[in-house]
Amino acid sequence: MRILFEAEIRLGREEKAIAIACRMDSVESINLAKKIMNFLQKRGENVALESRICKRLGDPDLGMNLRAMTEDAVKFLISVGGDGSILRVFHNLPKKNMPPVLGVAKTGSSIAFLSESSEKTVFNDLSMILENKYIIEKCPRLATYLSKSPNTSIRLGDALNEVLLSSIKPSKVMQISVKVNGEFLNYGYLDGLILSTATGSTAYAFSAGGSIMAPSIEAIHLVPLNTYARSGLVPMMFPKDSEFEITLLRDKLMGTLIIDGQRAIMKVFPRNKIRVKMSEEIFKLIRVGKNINKSFFYRLREKILPTLRIPFKPSMKY
């Protein structure tokens, strides 16, 4: 009891930290993370470093495990390295009460659509955030369950971008059944199936022929991969309260279930059931601006949509 009481007093006196995580395989990202740490400390902020990088940044005493980084202990987390780093951080933070995340990408290293900041803008962006000049983008998550028998259900990790089901043998085509809210939708004869959030609609789902969804759209996007002609499934959007049930039907052909490209269940057996629905939890991304949609469309123009060079000066102002 006494130890708990003393810990509570110590936490109460200390200001929440700003946490930093980054890639380990990029010298540029580590150097940038160190510059960010120095910048924050000069501003008088408490800093916590992801445990695995604290020695590389020269301060082992600041180490904190990602699993301990809740909103109660951390103001926000800075993820240095790009969208892959954000996804890694997301999958290793506590499942509930995650702190907001600011993504910082090294310029030119990747598309980094989730990342708000870059090495060129990060210090200006941080100054604005410390002055409370920022907004929060609330990103939905997909909860995924695997049932290997009628009375069992295992909850897998939530997805920020997408859940992908594919054949365990690339040369073999899957046959699946899809139900939505208990109602049979159709069969599919295909290479794979993606269920995506609006956040993930600019990632794998978009590359596979799905539509880009604005952040304000609360829906789940179903995108089949390489469907056999007239096999019954096409890209579709469903309301956020939809629950999907997917069953592999082809005997002796197992599937692979991959969540956000980070975690894989290598053996999904025929007749196993996969259920996917919107999670009750959200993920918060920091945006430096006054409007979520304005920020979204700016990033679309800069990073994804092709720019048309019109050979005349438009008379209207845009």
Work out the mean pLDDT of the chain and round it to a whole number.
Answer: 88
Instruction: Give the pLDDT score at 108.
Output: 58
Instruction: Give the pLDDT score at 259.
Output: 96
Name the band, by pLDDT with cuts 50, 70 and 90, for residue 246. very high
For residue 108, give the amino acid letter.
G
Instruction: Give the pLDDT score at 229.
Output: 74
Retrieve residue 87's tokens. 């996804």
What mean pLDDT comes out for the span 87-102?
95
Q: Where are the domains of the chain?
A: 8-133, 141-281
Instruction: Give the pLDDT score at 290.
Output: 79
For 19: left if phi > 0, alpha if psi spans -120 to 50, otherwise beta; the answer is: beta
Asked if 106 contacts 118 with a C-beta cutoff of 8 angstroms, the reply is yes
Instruction: Give the pLDDT score at 1.
Output: 31
In tens, the pLDDT along 217-232 reads 999 999 999 988 777 7
| Rounded CA separation 135/287 (Å) | 5
> Residue 297 above 60 pLDDT?
yes
> Residue 76 above 50 pLDDT?
yes
In percent, the amount of the chain with pLDDT more than 70 equals 91
Instruction: Give the pLDDT score at 309.
Output: 66
| Rounded CA separation 182/209 (Å) | 26
Instruction: Give the pLDDT score at 109.
Output: 55
What mean pLDDT comes out for the span 184-202?
95
> Residue 9 above 60 pLDDT?
no
In tens, the pLDDT along 30-39 reads 999 999 999 9
What mean pLDDT comes out for the span 184-205?
95
| Rounded CA separation 291/263 (Å) | 33
Task: Residue 314: count other Cβ atoms within 10 Å of its Cβ.
Answer: 7
Exposure letters 97-119 (e unless 16+ CB within 10 A, then b):
ebbbbbbbbbeebeebbbbbbbb
| Rounded CA separation 254/151 (Å) | 21
C-beta contacts of 24-32 below 8 A and 24+ residues apart? 24/52, 24/53, 24/56, 26/81, 26/106, 26/109, 28/106, 28/109, 28/119, 29/80, 29/81, 29/85, 29/106, 30/56, 30/57, 32/80, 32/104, 32/106, 32/119, 32/122
Instruction: Give the pLDDT score at 10.
Output: 33
Instruction: Give the pLDDT score at 60.
Output: 84
Pick the CATH number of 8-133 from 3.40.50.10330, 3.40.50.10800, 3.30.450.20, 3.30.750.24: 3.40.50.10330
> Residue 57 above 80 pLDDT?
yes
Burial (CB count within 10 angstroms: exposed 0-12, middle 13-18, buried 19+), residue 267: exposed
In tens, the pLDDT along 146-176 reads 998 777 889 998 999 999 999 999 889 999 9
What mean pLDDT comes out for the span 260-288?
92
- Give the range among 11-25, 129-143, 175-189 with minimum mean pLDDT: 11-25
What mean pLDDT comes out for the span 247-260?
93
What mean pLDDT comes out for the span 3-17?
47
Exposure letters 217-252 (e unless 16+ CB within 10 A, then b):
eebbbbbbbebeeebebebbbbeeebbbbbbbeeee
Name the band, by pLDDT with cuts 50, 70 and 90, for residue 301. confident
Name the band, by pLDDT with cuts 50, 70 and 90, for residue 79. very high
Superfamily of domain 141-281: Probable inorganic polyphosphate/atp-NAD kinase; domain 2 (2.60.200.30)
Instruction: Give the pLDDT score at 267.
Output: 87
> Residue 5 above 50 pLDDT?
no
Name the band, by pLDDT with cuts 50, 70 and 90, for residue 314. low
Helix axes 122-130, 27-42, angle to 10 degrees: 40
Q: Is this structure's pTM higher than 0.75?
A: yes
